[in-house]
Amino acid sequence: MIYTEQTKKAIKLSFQAHAGQLDRCGLPYVTHPLHLAEQMPDEDCTVAALLHDVVEDTDYSLEDLRRMDFPPRALEAVALLTHDPAEPYMDYVARLKQNPVARTVKLADLRHNSDLTRLDTVTERDLARVEKYAAALRLLEEQ
C-alpha cells in the first residue's frame, strides 16, 4: 500500500462510505477496495482503487469527492469506473480502457471479483458473472 496524505484520506473515506456493507460472503465490503489498493503502483491508482465503488454503491457523488480535493487523475478514473446500468457492460469496459489509471484499477477489480474462492457457495449466476469478467479482462489486456 502506498501511504500519502491523499491515500490515507481515501482509506478513511472508503471505510466511512462502505460502513455496514457486506460482500457476497458476508465480509465487510471495504476489504475489496483495500485489496485492490494494495496492488496499485502509484498514488492516483491507489486513490482510485480505494474510491472505485464509492459513487456507484454509496450516497457520495463525484462532486462530493471533488470537494474533498482528491487528485484529478484519480477522480477521472473513478468517474470512468462508475458504471451506469443503462450502458452495456462491455461498452463501459471499452470506454475506460484508454485511461491508464482506470484500466489498472479495473484489471485488479475484475481479477478479485473473479476469485470464486472468496465465496462460500458458487452458483450458476456466479459462474456466468466470472465468464463476463473473463471477456472484460481479455478486452482490457488487448493492446
Domains of the chain: 5-141 (1.10.3210.10)
Q: At how many degrees (to 10) do helices 72-81 and 100-113 cross? A: 50
Q: How far apart are CA 120 and CA 110, in angstroms?
A: 19
Average pLDDT of the chain is 96
Active site residues: 56-57
pLDDT over 80 (residue 64)? yes
pLDDT (tens digit per residue) in 19-59? 999 998 889 999 999 999 999 999 999 999 999 999 999 99
Amino acid code (one letter) for 50 = L
Express each pLDDT in 88-122 by its tens digit: 999 999 999 999 999 999 999 999 999 999 999 99
For 32, the grid coordinates are: 475489496
What is the CA 17 to chain-centroid distance, rounded? 14
User: Could you read off the pLDDT of 74-97 as tens digits, one per residue?
Assistant: 999 999 999 999 999 999 999 999
Cell numbers placing 12:
478513511
The pTM (predicted TM-score) of the whole model is 0.96
